């Protein structure tokens, strides 16, 4: 499975906010940190807000913050909400797309692989992939 740029930016944003919790952050700050497009990031942030993962606070002291705790956010759920249902091949989701469909066992194998991946990612929480309070800027400086 290859994730879209919007999903990549969405996951990075959630991880950044979880690491910086309880601080609010600015889109420009996150974009600069990761070296990514502010405009593309803004689209991902808007979508995360629509899906209920982020809150946007306007005015002085405003910014974006997690709307749920990192323990409540399933990585698999985020991926599915941003990407939609993805399948390894069309035949997993649809009938009549292949000549050998009636005798093919690959469809079942791929459907099981998808189920296992989905189940695994749904068990992983945002809190499992980032440490709250982690100083990302300090971490970044030790890596370069």
Of the chain, the percentage scoring pLDDT greater than 70 comes to 91
Average pLDDT over residues 82-91: 84
- Of 44, 48, 54, the C-alpha closest to 5 is 44
Least confident of 87-91, 104-108, 116-120: 87-91
pLDDT at position 136: 61
Q: Which structure tokens are listed for 138?
A: 């300090």
Residue 68 is given by DSSP the state S
Comparison of pLDDT for 14 and 114, the residue scoring more: 14
CATH level 3 topology of 5-131: Arc Repressor Mutant, subunit A (1.10.10)
Give the C-alpha distances (Å, rounded to integers) separating 120 from 59, 74, 76, 123.
Answer: 40, 10, 8, 5
Per domain, the residue ranges of the chain are 5-131
Three-class DSSP category at 32: helix
Rama region for 133: left / alpha / beta (φ>0; ψ in -120 to 50; rest): left
Report helix angle 136-143 to 27-34, nearest 10.
20
Cβ–Cβ < 8 Å for 115, 93? no
Cβ–Cβ < 8 Å for 65, 25? yes
Average pLDDT over residues 16-36: 93
Q: Which structure tokens are listed for 92?
A: 């997993």
pLDDT at position 138: 57
pLDDT at position 91: 81
Comparison of pLDDT for 64 and 131, the residue scoring more: 64
pLDDT at position 14: 97
Q: Does the pLDDT at position 141 exceed 60? A: no
């Amino acid at each position: 499975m290859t994730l879209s740029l919007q999903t990549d930016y969405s996951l990075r944003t959630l991880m950044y906010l979880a690491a910086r919790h309880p601080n609010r952050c600015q889109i420009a700050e996150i974009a600069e940190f990761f070296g990514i497009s502010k405009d593309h990031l803004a689209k991902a942030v808007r979508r995360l807000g629509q899906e209920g993962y982020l809150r946007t606070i306007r005015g002085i002291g405003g910014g974006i913050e997690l709307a749920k705790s990192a323990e409540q956010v399933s990585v698999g759920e985020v991926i599915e909400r941003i990407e939609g249902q993805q399948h390894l091949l069309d035949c997993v989701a649809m009938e009549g797309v292949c000549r050998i469909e009636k005798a093919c066992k690959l469809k079942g194998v791929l459907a099981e692989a998808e189920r296992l991946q989905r189940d695994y990612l749904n068990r992983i929480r945002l809190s499992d992939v980032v440490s709250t309070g982690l100083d990302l800027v300090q971490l970044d400086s030790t890596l370069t």
